[in-house]
Chains A and B, each alone.
Chain A
Amino acid sequence: MHGTVTMDVDSTQQRMASFLRDHEDKVLARWVELVLANGASRASTDEVRRELGEIFTVVVRAMSGSDESAIGELRASLAELSRSRARAGATPTETASSIFALKDATYEAMAGVPELLPEFLTFSRMIDDLGLHTFEIFASAREEIIASQTESMLELSTPVVRLWDGIIAVPLVGTLDSARTQLVMEKMLDALVTLGADHAVIDITGVATVDTEVAQHLLKTVMAARLLGAECTISGIRPQIAHTIVSLGIEFGDIATKASLADALAYALSRSGLKVGPA
């Protein structure tokens, strides 16, 4: 049949492409069936058929070698598929196996033509490559999602609230690291300037742990506020944290510290020459 014909990859691929083109309906239908069965896609049957149909067409075009841009196009549409799956919350295995399912579908269609086996091997290798490609895209899409979530969490977790005329509070919740403290510092200083506030209360009731690094960050924030001409009070130091601070030998120097936000507000009011009394 093949005789001494060299195993030229190009012609092998072309033969496979023409086989796929001839059996398009059968292979595509089976592929859609397999993908729906493994539950990788949350989309409707029509949606999946359209999606896979597009990929199928590009795969055939890429293999027939007539179109230089087809490979790039194929990678792009697979990337798109991966990303939408990642966003929909599918697992990477589900996504990759929906690509691998094309091999199964093709293999079944080839049951009657054993002489195409070498072609199938080449085809199989190509699909493996594509599957790995989707895997990679999937992982990077997830990373992107995580990064954007982290960023929005940073934004959300640092509110600056106005307590009184000229007094602002920064309630800190969670873990303080360098990036977060930097953001807190910037937001607080901006608020001091825009609101014309000359007193800020940093409330650390919600901060889980205070170590030397966190304390260093807090001190820097207070120093920067002082340079602007504003006074800072640190409030909400819990008993365990007070213990840690003392054991670590951290000195807050002349920075006022208060047990609760209420105490800090009372202190700030008295510094501003105001007094709250019974009505």
Chain B
Amino acid sequence: MERVPILKIGGTLFVSIQIDLQDASVLQLQEDLAEELAKTGAHGVIIDITAVEIVDSFIGRMLAMIGSISRLFDAETVLVGMRPAVAITLTELGLSLKGVRTALNAEKGLRLLEARNG
């Protein structure tokens, strides 16, 4: 199973998903991220899914769950770089990813976090 690396930049954790998402790797990412948040006390998480072309309902739900978990650590999650096709799929699946912020790209995502954390 491939692991998704988590980078810490300032008070933000940066996750760039560059692999085909398997259920197992998403679950692992969820765990890793929770541990990292507890360890670093980061206040923001940016998940870059520019390279993700296919999502299913499970992955959609897991992404939303990552948002909820981060919130428990008082961190805001911003999903950036979603492709139109992925957005359409998620809407058709009826997933609106409540609890997760979205931004067009990583830069805008960072700005969102800055605005929130001051």
Contact = CB atoms under 8 A, between A and B. Distances in A.
Contact of B84 (A189, A197, A220): A189
Given A190-B84, A193-B84, A229 B102 contact: yes
Nearest to A191: B84
Contacts of A225: 87
Secondary structure call for the A interface? helix
A227 B108 contact: no
A223 interface: yes
Contacts of B22: none
A220 B104 contact: no
Contacts of A197: 104
Contact of A227 (B78, B97, B105, B109): B97
B80 interface: yes
B88 A193 contact: no
Nearest to A185: B88
A151 interface: no
Interface string A144-180: 0000000000000000000000000000000000000
Contacts of B40: none
Number of contact residues on B: which range applies? 20 to 34
A193 B96 CA distance: 19
Nearest to B109: A229
B75 to A, nearest CB: 18
Contact of A226 (B80, B86, B96): B96
B6 interface: no
Given A193-B83, A223-B96, A229 B104 contact: yes
A258 B4 CA distance: 43
A198 B105 CA distance: 10
A197 to B, nearest CB: 8
Contacts, number: 55
Secondary structure call for the B interface? mixed
Contact of B96 (A189, A192, A227, A228): A227
A225 B104 CA distance: 10
B103 interface: yes
Interface string A190-228: 101100111000000000000000000000100111111
B55 to A, nearest CB: 10
B84 A223 contact: no
Contacts of B79: 227, 229
B82 interface: yes
B104 A227 contact: no
Interface string B75-114: 0001110111011101110001100011111001100000
30 contacts: A189-B84, A192-B84, A193-B83, A193-B84, A193-B104, A196-B104, A198-B108, A220-B91, A220-B92, A223-B91, A224-B84, A224-B87, A224-B90, A224-B91, A225-B87, A226-B96, A227-B90, A227-B96, A227-B97, A228-B82, A228-B87, A228-B102, A228-B104, A229-B78, A229-B82, A229-B102, A229-B103, A229-B108, A229-B109, A230-B104
Interface of A: 185-186, 189-190, 192-193, 196-198, 220, 223-230
Interface of B: 78-80, 82-84, 86-88, 90-92, 96-97, 101-105, 108-109
5 tightest A-B contacts by CB?
A189-B84, A229-B103, A229-B102, A227-B87, A224-B87
